[in-house]
Chains A and B, each alone.
Chain A
Amino acid sequence: MEQFNWWVIVPVFAALIALRWRRTSMLTWFAAWWIGMFLVVRYGFTVPVPMSVVKLYMGLVTAALVAYVLTDAGRIREVTEPLAAFMTERRYLPYLAAVALFIPAAVAFGIYRDMTRVPQPPSFARTIHPATPAEPIDVHGTSYDLGTADNPYRELEETDPAAFKARVENGRKIYYENCFYCHGDVMAGDGMFAHALNPIPTNFQDPGTIAMLREAFLFWRIAKGGPGLPAEGGPWASAMPAWENFLSEDEMWNVILFLYEFTGHRPRAVELH
């Protein structure tokens, strides 16, 4: 629950309920919902939502509000009539003039803000899970076809639980000797070196990472690391070492068993035709 800014969310919804209770005009209601939703999306989360998603959500909110108003002739009147009155009736002239001045002033301020902002590198959509190479990979002289390869010790889970546990324990030892510096104590991608890296290490607790992937994919990524990432898709810039230079095949398969055991995720199975 600490991931939400309740001091933003609660007042917004309280205000919207109050407006409903007071049976305010449709135009006010429309504006209140739009502003309320913007506040919730932009400031309602402890970790700010990126602007690309804020824009996406606000586009949806706008479309939904417009659809709601345009579905009924009475609602259209309720929205358009006050606007028409504001723009045509003499009594609103000072306010209209204020709006007419405010719009270019706001645009000017926006330009000033953009021009004085510290330059940022351009945003990009980074591909998190690159496609595995179609051709087999070579690790310590063994050829692995990633389309069919699987963890050779996974079956021990059923056939020899004691041996499986020993493998997992070996994986634990390897993880805390090598991986936890970046991937963290609890595999949340927040190890002591993590904040010096960009992109930061993967958070294995996240259900969108290893839970989506087959063990052969992890083996490929661990063995080949950042230098072995394929050209297409990028940009990569990953600091992950190619662990085949430091670990044996057995050690890499063991650490994979430990990753799934520790996080509670299950590896993706091979899809059947």
Chain B
Amino acid sequence: MKRKPGVLLIGLGVLAFVATMIGAFRLAVTFDQRLAFHPPISERGEAEEWTPRQEALEQQRQEEEEAARTKPYEEEEYRAFPKVGSRVAIWVVAQLHLLFAAFVLAVPMFAVVIEWIGIRTGDKRYDALAYEFTKLLSVSFSLTATFGAGLTFMLIALYPKFTNYLMHVFSPTFLPYVLLFFAEAGFLYTYYYGWGKFSPKVHLFLGIMLNVVGTGIMVIANAWLTFMMTPNGVSESGALISTWDAVSNYTWMPINIHRLIANVAYGGSVAAAYAAYQFLQAKNDAERAHYDWMGYIGNFVAICGLLPLPFAGYWLASEIYAFSQTMGLTMMGGAFSWLFIIQAVLIGNLFLFANWYLWLGMGRIQGAERFRAFIWPLLTIITICFAIWATPRSIIATTEEVQAMGGSSHPVLGYLGVMSAKNTAVNILILTTYVSFLLYRRSGKIPTVKWAKTGNLAQAIIFALSAATVIGYGIAGYRVDAATRIGFSRPQVGAVLLAMLLVTVIDVLMLRGAKTTDTRWGKIRPLSQYLLIMLAVTFTWLMGLMGYLRSGLRLHWHVFGVVRDTSPDAFTPTLGFATQVVSVTVLIFFGLIGFVFWLAGLSGKESHAGEEAAAHAAHPSPVGFDPSPAGATPMSSAGGSAPAASAATSSRIETS
């Protein structure tokens, strides 16, 4: 056998290298020991004698020990959170708690309504859909409680004096809060685990009670935070006069209503994002059909919540002005006014995405082509309204630009920066979105009633009159005083709501017995699903920013005008910093909600043993449209099994 000389040489080389390294290391250690300081050789007792420095150190230690022993007790006002500071730490945890809490409160609202529709119509698919929404709740509930506990501990640890003051005012509300929380846990888990185990009515009752106690919890917590903004029921020095007056402060009820509606919009959008996430990784047409439908319902819920939200916001803003002109001006004309431009851009995006999703959705309906011509004019109106809404009153401009404009507002665009223009734009946006929805709804239906043409004409006239009313009041708003102008928002909103109501009634009557075409659920471009995810992200970001605005309006007060913030954080951060904190919080939230989605998806997957068995199965069975594609759908609360609801992939599901 011929020997390879190279191998031997390489082996020797490696050995030589290792030996050299060991030798070098030994030499380095030896030199190090020789060069190190060694005390002179002396008697043991002499070596232990202390130097003057050591004596001084020992004396200092003893003094510190003595000072610690005799230190009087002092209540601390603040403690610092490492690195990011107390404010940012509380901000992030409170925001995360709120985002999960809002989701946990919102989902049962529409889950119960969907379950009720399922019971009323006998259609098991609604039951399965309600269950799928509910699946997202249990982990979210745990995370809500975890962040809630974190927030409480951090408040006690970082803001002890202020927390103590809140306890002084609100201690009678704590026990009901805890009891309601227990009740919520009980109803939630019974509602979830009891799916199909109770009679439909009992199960529905559990769901309704879950909503009642959940809303109760929110209403109590709202009292605490609104008291911080618009305190009531306390003396000038902060002494409690009446807990009920402290609860029913200026902004308590507006926040209750605003949050209730906003939760529905936000919860619907996050649930739709879950459906989109599942759609994008669906393995077959049946799954795609199911999650397409689920995403559509989630988005529908979100838009239903979004439409009345600006009006609840007006009420809240008006109460803030009523409580304190200073706070109102800080919000709309002062340090925070630019947040409203960001808000306008985000809400404009929500409307654009929502409409875009509906237009893409027309692709799944046969016969929708006849409405395609409407997209361009609708998009034009939305873009113009969006631009008006996002136009700032005082513009960021260079010195040259300011000089050219003759001030911070543009001589023409300045007219778009005031409330009359904004109110008009948002009302027309709402009306346009409703038209998009109506066109979507009519896509698969051809009316057969004799008066169809008259009905269409009546609908067009109603829309035109409504738009004319909104625009007319918008223009008139420039010629009246502020109070009258704010009052104009009522007829504007009324005209829009009335138009939506009348047109819906006409539509329902007109489409009775209409010829319908197939809705091919699942036959929609993936882009639509990304739009759903973008809607959820935009909603979440918006909540974070507006939450910061509401809280930040207190400026350097813990409780406005009563308890002053004397911590190092008693300043308003820059808009850029605030948006960074909110953005990071939103990212963390989506990381965690992704975990919730993944867990919810797991619960529907086959067990490992089941997967192996399936892998060995010789003849896999064909799959049809099963609204519970993951196979873990519970027994229907109506008593039947959900898979019985299977239908063809192109099944028709009346969702409107």
Contact = CB atoms under 8 A, between A and B. Distances in A.
Interface of A: 3-4, 45, 47-53, 56-57, 60-61, 63-64, 67-68, 70-73, 120-121, 123-134, 146-147, 189-190, 198-200, 202-203, 206-208, 211-214, 216-217, 232-233, 264-273
B375 interface: yes
Given A127-B394, A131-B326, A134-B561, A50 B405 contact: yes
Given A123-B401, A127-B333, A129-B333, 5 more contacts: A51-B401, A56-B390, A61-B383, A73-B525, A125-B392
Given A206-B414, A271-B321, A198 B402 contact: yes
Contacts of A53: 391-392, 395, 410, 413
Query: What 7 A-B pairs come out closest when comparing CB atoms?
Result: A266-B481, A129-B333, A268-B482, A269-B483, A271-B322, A131-B330, A50-B397
Given A48-B404, A208-B418, A146 B333 contact: no
Interface stretch (B67-75, B334-342, B601-609, B624-632): B334-342
B475 to A, nearest CB: 11
Given A3-B412, A125-B394, A212-B418, A63 B352 contact: yes
B404 A217 contact: no
Contacts, number: 190
Given A127-B333, A272-B322, A47 B348 contact: no
A127 B401 contact: no
Contacts of B525: 73
B443 to A, nearest CB: 14
B352 A64 contact: yes
Given A57-B387, A207-B418, A127 B410 contact: no
Contacts of A217: 325, 329
B653 interface: no
A137 to B, nearest CB: 12
Contacts of B419: 212
B561 to A, nearest CB: 6
Nearest to A37: B383
Nearest to B230: A273
B482 A130 contact: no
Nearest to A209: B409
A211 B324 CA distance: 18
A208 B356 contact: no
Interface of B: 250, 318-319, 321-330, 333-335, 337-338, 345, 348-349, 352, 356, 359-360, 372, 375-376, 379-380, 382-383, 386-387, 390-415, 417-420, 478-484, 525, 527, 555, 560-561, 572
A217 B328 CA distance: 12
29 contacts: A3-B411, A45-B412, A50-B396, A51-B398, A52-B395, A63-B349, A64-B379, A64-B380, A67-B356, A120-B399, A127-B333, A127-B337, A130-B329, A131-B326, A131-B334, A131-B335, A134-B560, A134-B561, A146-B326, A147-B326, A189-B406, A206-B407, A211-B481, A214-B325, A232-B334, A264-B479, A268-B481, A268-B483, A273-B250
B624 to A, nearest CB: 27
Contacts of A270: 322, 325
B481 A71 contact: no
Contacts of A121: 398-399
A267 B410 contact: no
A273 B319 contact: yes
Given A126-B394, A232-B555, A120 B400 contact: yes
B397 to A, nearest CB: 4
A132 B328 CA distance: 9
A206 B409 contact: yes
Contacts of B356: 67, 70-71
B406 A265 contact: no
A129 B383 CA distance: 29
Nearest to B250: A273
A47 B411 contact: yes
A208 B393 contact: yes
Nearest to A190: B406
A232 B397 contact: no
Contacts of B555: 232
B478 A203 contact: no
Contacts of B372: 72
Determine which residue in B326, B479, B480 has the highest number of CB atoms from chain A within 10 A of its CB, and name it: B326
Contacts of B376: 68
Given A67-B356, A134-B326, A273-B250, A123 B481 contact: no
